[in-house]
Structure 1
Amino acid sequence: MKTVSVIIPTYNRALFIKQTLESFVLQNYPNMLEIIVVNNNSTDHTLAVIKELSAKYPIIKYYEEQRQGVHYARNTAIQYAKGEVLYYTDDDMIADPDLLTNLLQTFEVNDKIAVVSGRVLPKWAITPPNWILKYCLNAHLSLNLDETPLIISDQMINIFSCHEAILKEAIIKAGGFNPENTKGEWIGDGETGLSIKLLNLGYLQAYNGSSIIRHIIPETRMTQRYLNKRFANQANCDSFTIYRAANGLSNSKLFANILRNFMTILYKSLVTPWHFLRARDNWRITMAQTFYHINRITYDLKLMTRPQMRNLVLRDNWIDLNN
């Protein structure tokens, strides 16, 4: 089976990253070469936690990326990684011991597979409210509960960067991860954009439901405020993806998109209080959708008025920026 480097960008997650790192130290995969932690300007005691663990477990290697943005940290790690496969996860995840064994065997099924993901289950910090269980056991919390043993596709499937194995040669050809959370602002489509670039190069994607990781969900993510923010961030991602897919849009088309989103906001602003007054909890989703459409407008206005924003969106290669 292929050699693998585990890559974990981190930013101010001292409370969680110890659990994450220890869960990967305990992996039963025989060809794991290293665990690469890339500190992206943490201001809490994350660094102390990493240094303590790296002294205890030499397999853990530490690097820094001072440009704020998770895509910088992910792409920077490529130049240090020795594995044939780069496994990306986040600093608030806990891996099952056989995660890598189950995930990496997928690459042996078809030599055109470039990226593989698997199940992302919740690890709740507190008992979640009913509306979270009803509406958010999905991408809203970066969860994927699908138990399907194997899916191989030349089309987009749900793949989250918190549980993603990628052929090193393929990610280099694709130009790395697109931007997403950059200095607290979501400006791009991250792993979605990377998946699109890989598919355009003729690679396949795969999903292996036997490979499981658990996502720590703190109380702060079980709120309406967080859901609104999640939808707003998704709006930025979608505007980025749509503009790239068209290789740019004219101002008239962007303005037409703005008008459509404005009309949708008017509709959502009426139905949200209606649902609330009738004690229907779907008001939470329609309210979050309002934030989505507001941000679609804001992002498209930036594309209309800022040439540097248009150039950023159309950039393909983000690895070169790290050299």
Structure 2
Amino acid sequence: NRAGSLRETLESLAEADRGNLSVEVVVIDNNSNDHTKDVLESFVDRLPVRYLFEPKQGNGKSDPLNCALDAGGFGDIVAFLDDDMTVEKGWFLGVKSICDRKPEHDLFSGRSYVIWPNSEVPEWARSQQILQWGMSVMESIRKDHEIERGFWPSGNHFWVRKRVFNGGRRFHNLWSEAYFTLQL
């Protein structure tokens, strides 16, 4: 039920430079009752999109994420981006570039930009602990570096090589992204 922020996310993806990359944006509707599907359909002429519907709710993001993984059909790189995030113009090319530079790595993340509904950062998000975690532990770093053992990227923005799903790896119901990425 966040069609408004989804529109902004899709807008940023549509405006991003894809160069000659083959990309597909998969949106999982987790049983919304707003106009999420209409928003997605409004981008079909500007962005390669696929709509999936996940009726189960109550397990956070794990059910919708696993719905997408079960649907399959992904390329070599699978990126996860929340519906309240935007990307810079060079995001797609940046994802490809770091994956090319680091072929031995499977998990990647980058700077995150949150769309706050009222343009003001809420009080709960101002604590140092939230800032360290929520900014993917990389807010001030502008060069490539490895994620230290015991740290994980924020679930709002990360990507992996498709090979990590070999053997059926999926998202767990509790701390879905953290649990998933700490296993890599």
Corresponding residue for 1:195? 181
How far apart in 2 are the matches of 1:157 and 1:103? 20
Residue 71 of structure 1, CA deviation? 1.2
Question: Which of 66, 80, 103 is the matching residue for 2:55?
Answer: 66
Query: If the length of structure 1 is used for normalisation, what is the TM-score?
Result: 0.49
Query: If the length of structure 2 is used for normalisation, what is the TM-score?
Result: 0.82
Contact kept in structure 1, 2:29 and 2:53, CA below 8 Å:
yes
Count matched residues. 176
Larger radius of gyration: 1
Alpha-carbon displacement from aligned partner over 1:101-156 (angstroms, at most 9, x marks no partner): 122322223332111001113444334478854644333xx224132401125723
Contact kept in structure 1, 2:79 and 2:160, CA below 8 Å:
yes
Corresponding residue for 2:144? 150
How far apart in 1 are the matches of 2:40 and 2:125? 32
Question: Taking structure 1 as reference, are residues 32 and 157 closer, same or farther at Cα in structure 2, changes over 3 Å only?
Answer: farther
Contact kept in structure 2, 1:33 and 1:82, CA below 8 Å:
no
Question: Taking structure 1 as reference, are residues 58 and 93 closer, same or farther at Cα in structure 2, changes over 3 Å only?
Answer: closer
Corresponding residue for 2:99? 107
Question: Taking structure 1 as reference, are residues 158 and 53 closer, same or farther at Cα in structure 2, changes over 3 Å only?
Answer: same
How far apart in 2 are the matches of 1:82 and 1:131? 36
Contact kept in structure 1, 2:86 and 2:113, CA below 8 Å:
no
The 5 A counterparts of 1:43-82 are: 43-54=33-44, 56-57=45-46, 59-68=48-57, 69=59, 70-78=61-69, 79-82=71-74
The 5 A counterparts of 1:1-323 are: 12-29=1-18, 30-54=20-44, 56-57=45-46, 59-68=48-57, 69=59, 70-78=61-69, 79-124=71-116, 125-128=118-121, 133=126, 135=128, 136-139=130-133, 142-144=134-136, 145-153=139-147, 155-173=149-167, 175-179=169-173, 188-198=174-184
Corresponding residue for 1:244? none
Alpha-carbon displacement from aligned partner over 1:280-315 (angstroms, at most 9, x marks no partner): xxxxxxxxxxxxxxxxxxxxxxxxxxxxxxxxxxxx
**Percent identity between the aligned chains?**
22
Deviates more, 1:130-139 or 1:32-41: 130-139
Residue 166 of structure 1, CA deviation? 0.7
Contact kept in structure 2, 1:36 and 1:81, CA below 8 Å:
no
- Secondary structure of 1:112's aligned partner: coil
Higher helix share: 1
Contact kept in structure 2, 1:122 and 1:143, CA below 8 Å:
no
How far apart in 2 are the matches of 1:131 and 1:151? 28
- Secondary structure of 1:157's aligned partner: coil
User: RMSD of aligned C-alpha atoms?
Assistant: 2.4
Q: Where do 5+ consecutive residues of structure 2 fail to align?
A: none
What amino acid maps onto 1:91 in structure 2?
D
How far apart in 1 are the matches of 2:110 and 2:158? 8
Corresponding residue for 1:219? none
